[in-house]
Structure 1
Amino acid sequence: MSIQDPEKFRIWQESRRKKHMEIVLQKSAYYRSIEKIDGTFPITDKTLMMDHFDELNTVGIPLQHAREIALQSEVERDFTPKIGKISVGLSSGTTGNQGVFLISNDEIVQWSASVIAKLIHFKKFKRQKITIAFFMRANNNLYESINNPKMSIHFFDLLEPLADNLRLLDDLQPNIIVAQPSMLRLIAQHYERQKRNYDLKEIYSIAEVLDPVDEAFISEAMDAPVKQVYQATEGFLAVSCQHGNLHLNEDIVYIEKEYIDAEKRRFIPIITDLFRISQPLIRYRLNDILIEAREPCPCGTCFTTLEAIEGREDDCFALNGRDGETVTLFADFIRYAIINASDKIIEYRAVQKLNGQIEVQLNVEADSFIQVQEKINENFADLFIKYGAIPVKIHYQNRILLSENRKMRRVEREK
């Protein structure tokens, strides 16, 4: 397999996909029972997977039992229990319904090898031990599997008080930090107040969309570039290369692209995991919008290069159009209408309320709030005209409002 030769790679990928499908058909009662359409399986999603959990998974674990173990781990904050050789976990539930996922010991080994190979730039560390501070809502045997004499991962529980986590971070002195952009901002603010006295080699953003405002602040405050990891319950989907560009891990997941705009660059990924057997993911439609890059990456890979992970499909704003049709404003349009208004903006959120109106929450430099509002209003007015939307009133808050324990979403439509 060569990742710099597109033709050879696609031949390998297709061979791997066919072999994987044969194994899944042998082991999964669900996939043996459903009919193919034009030679392919129908598209699935989280709801279908949970509805058919018992017959879809290949390790004989009922949904009720898996959920009980996962919920017990969440409550007790002990994520080591397994069902035999199978680790169990819960998705974060940001799409409305919380999923249960299974992964075997063999799949953990394969995942660990992929993560280490793609994430760690070993030349930066020379003979130094790699110490990773990993911030997540829930730990899992998946993450602990990375530990070895030359590399250790330390779980930081996001449900613990911030002050305690920051104190433990100072004590640990990691050379890699992996966290959500919202947590990375808090860490960066901490080190603005208190100078960091250790060498930080890598920063990885996970779980939330990395907004340009956050990326610039974190990178400057922590004196290191911020790379991205696109890791979900559904797998290790993409990672930044050493040029800072995000690439789909097409040697791990086969991606079909459901394009959703005229430019043919925004798409919903439909994934087939090429290795996962315990809980097969076959033509699984995610709820994310990805933007394909216009130009290939200098690193030379034939894997799809992403310009950005734009956010959830339901983070787009839906407005009434002048022609009677619904107008979709993608999160990227909204994001830039705000951040291009002023360099005085420190943080923001944009929320479309249930009544269709828009609320913009701002953290701006002193005495700039009114001027920033006026410019954002102008930018939105231009958006409404350009896309034929009937203008809606924009309300402003001079603070960022977040629900407890929720992922940060800079652009969000209430449901």
Structure 2
Amino acid sequence: MTTREAVETHRARGLRRLGRHLHRHIPYYRHVDPARPDSWPVIDKAELLANFAAMNRAGIPLDAVRDALAAGESRIAGHAIGHSTGTSGNRGYFVVSDAERYVWLGTLLAKALPDALWRRHRVALALPGFSRLYGAAGGGSRVMLGLFDLGEGLDRWAGRFATFAPDTIVAPPKVLRELALRGLIARGTTAFSAAEVLDPVDVPVIEAATGRPLRQIYMATEGLLGVSCAHGTLHLAEDVVAFEWEAAGGGLVQPIVTDMTRRAQAMVRYRMNDLLRLDPRACACGSALQAVAAVEGRCDDLFVLPGAAGSVTVTPDVLRNAVIDADRRIDDFRIVQTGAAAIAVAIPPGADAAAVEAGLTRALARIGARAAITVTHGIPPTDATKLRRVRRDWRGDQSSMSAV
């Protein structure tokens, strides 16, 4: 789609079709006006889990999904099931039909590999949960999929990965970085960062290995949300998802998403926890789909610090940029709010701790915030699920919190 008018027309048509389906087949939405998407309730994870059976067409209860997954099963009542990594404290669960798996995979491949109609590809998927769920749909005659389970650990499948020799990789940035450092990514490979926030420190390491610009795939339990074009711009998947926005401060927005393609389980006006910085500029690729300057983090990781006039909310990009800019030798870090006015920072050995402390202090002062900053050398081991370099552990209701 090359004009915003076309995007909006497509969105209106998709929401009308979805409204009719919700009204007829999804009990939770039986009493809503199918022609008034703006009147449909805005929900969050707690609401979805509390009404799980009423939000899927087959009436599958949440406990049945949990029990099946705990028993190692991936299907129930003719549907594929799965869950999120649960890094925000509680897992999200989902139900999808086989047809929806093909739609998801087809949409992803069409956006990421538009030349797949005339060129064969070997695509490695190394993603938490998604590999098993959607990889089972297969890749077609021109796309061979290799599935690599992050839960097993990279060491378990590194040899198989090398033998598979992918020309395209979709993986979290921490995995792409590790593969690059081990020399397992061939030059000329197209790499897509997915499933985690892409921090600037990871980009040069990965691009040095591939010799190509690093691209992104923005997806979550809620669905496929965006894919970078060949120019490197992350475009939202507005052809399949309707987006609404809530201001989150600091120029960031929080998305409310409606997947217009899902029929087995409703994902309608779902308030996500993500923080995005939208890009108002037109992309050279010609697409009118909304561009995203950065996926900055999660609302859970907004720091709340004291200031002269009360509490000040600090966005992850402010903290991240202050640390990276303090010393160019910093190629990894952790920033954690550990108390009401306390921040713990971990940086690599040899990096300038004093410069980091001074840089963070200045950055906070510019927005009227203050905190006691502790800087230590040595990066703690990476979590087995999602890497969060900026993390708020302090919640205001605990006497002591974990540090880095």
Distance 2:38 2:180 in 1: 51
| 1:287 maps onto 2:273 in alignment | yes
Partner of residue 322 from structure 1, selected from 282, 291, 308: 308
Which is worse superposed, 339-348 or 350-359?
Answer: 350-359
In structure 1, give the amino acid aligned to 2:145.
I
In structure 2, give the amino acid aligned to 1:58.
R
**Structure 2 unmatched ranges of 5 or more:** 396-404
Q: How does 1:325-364 map to 2 (within 5 A)?
A: 325-364=310-349
Q: CA deviation at 1:254?
A: 0.4
In structure 2, give the amino acid aligned to 1:253.
V
Q: How does 1:355-394 map to 2 (within 5 A)?
A: 355-364=340-349, 368-369=350-351, 372-389=352-369, 391-394=370-373
In structure 1, give the amino acid aligned to 2:277.
I
- 1:16–1:161: structure 2 CA closer, same or farther, 3 Å change rule? closer
Aligned to 1:95: 88
Distance 2:170 2:237 in 1: 19
| 1:109 maps onto 2:94 in alignment | no
TM-score, scaled to structure 1: 0.89
In structure 2, give the amino acid aligned to 1:276.
R
8 Å CA contact 2:344–2:373 kept in 1: the answer is yes
Which is worse superposed, 200-209 or 403-412?
Answer: 403-412
Aligned to 1:155: 147
* Per-residue deviation, residues 86-137 of structure 1 (Å, max 9, x unmatched): 10001111111112101111211211221111011427x964x311121123
Which is worse superposed, 265-274 or 349-358?
Answer: 349-358
Runs (4+) off by over 4 Å: 33-39
Aligned to 2:295: 309
8 Å CA contact 1:144–1:153 kept in 2: the answer is no
Q: CA deviation at 1:174?
A: 1.0
* Per-residue deviation, residues 283-303 of structure 1 (Å, max 9, x unmatched): 100000000114221112111
Distance 2:32 2:176 in 1: 44
Distance 1:362 1:126 in 2: 46
Distance 2:115 2:134 in 1: 21
Distance 1:177 1:292 in 2: 25
In structure 2, give the amino acid aligned to 1:376.
V
Partner of residue 412 from structure 1, selected from 382, 385, 391: 391
Q: CA deviation at 1:328?
A: 0.9
8 Å CA contact 1:87–1:140 kept in 2: the answer is no
* Per-residue deviation, residues 262-311 of structure 1 (Å, max 9, x unmatched): 6xx41100011111111111110000000011422111211110000001
Which is worse superposed, 235-244 or 54-63?
Answer: 54-63
8 Å CA contact 2:357–2:375 kept in 1: the answer is no
**Aligned-residue CA RMSD (Å):** 2.1
In structure 1, give the amino acid aligned to 2:174.
S
* Per-residue deviation, residues 20-71 of structure 1 (Å, max 9, x unmatched): 1111111111112468999601210111000000111112212111112222
Q: How does 1:127-276 map to 2 (within 5 A)?
A: 127=119, 129-138=120-129, 139-191=131-183, 198=186, 200-261=188-249, 265-276=251-262
* Per-residue deviation, residues 171-228 of structure 1 (Å, max 9, x unmatched): 111111111111111111101xx7x6x5543101111100000112211133232111
Distance 1:185 1:116 in 2: 23
- 1:160–1:223: structure 2 CA closer, same or farther, 3 Å change rule? same
In structure 2, give the amino acid aligned to 1:386.
R
8 Å CA contact 1:46–1:99 kept in 2: the answer is yes
In structure 1, give the amino acid aligned to 2:195.
A
Distance 2:6 2:281 in 1: 21
8 Å CA contact 2:132–2:147 kept in 1: the answer is no
**Structure 1 unmatched ranges of 5 or more:** 74-78
- 1:215–1:275: structure 2 CA closer, same or farther, 3 Å change rule? same
- 1:347 counterpart SS class: coil
Distance 2:181 2:348 in 1: 14
- 1:267–1:39: structure 2 CA closer, same or farther, 3 Å change rule? closer
- Percent identical among aligned pairs is 31
Aligned to 2:400: none
- 2:30 counterpart SS class: helix
TM-score, scaled to structure 2: 0.91
Distance 2:38 2:91 in 1: 31
8 Å CA contact 2:306–2:340 kept in 1: the answer is no
In structure 2, give the amino acid aligned to 1:148.
G
8 Å CA contact 1:402–1:408 kept in 2: the answer is no
Q: CA deviation at 1:150?
A: 1.7
In structure 1, give the amino acid aligned to 2:366.
K
Q: CA deviation at 1:386?
A: 1.2
Q: CA deviation at 1:387?
A: 1.1
- 2:201 counterpart SS class: helix
8 Å CA contact 2:23–2:32 kept in 1: the answer is no
In structure 2, give the amino acid aligned to 1:383.
A
- 1:39–1:266: structure 2 CA closer, same or farther, 3 Å change rule? closer
In structure 2, give the amino acid aligned to 1:152.
M
- 1:136 counterpart SS class: coil
8 Å CA contact 2:55–2:265 kept in 1: the answer is yes
Paired positions, count: 392
Partner of residue 397 from structure 1, selected from 371, 376, 386: 376
8 Å CA contact 2:335–2:391 kept in 1: the answer is yes
* Per-residue deviation, residues 324-369 of structure 1 (Å, max 9, x unmatched): x2101110111110111111112111111145411111125xxx43
8 Å CA contact 2:301–2:390 kept in 1: the answer is yes
Distance 1:137 1:208 in 2: 10
Aligned to 1:14: 12
In structure 2, give the amino acid aligned to 1:395.
T
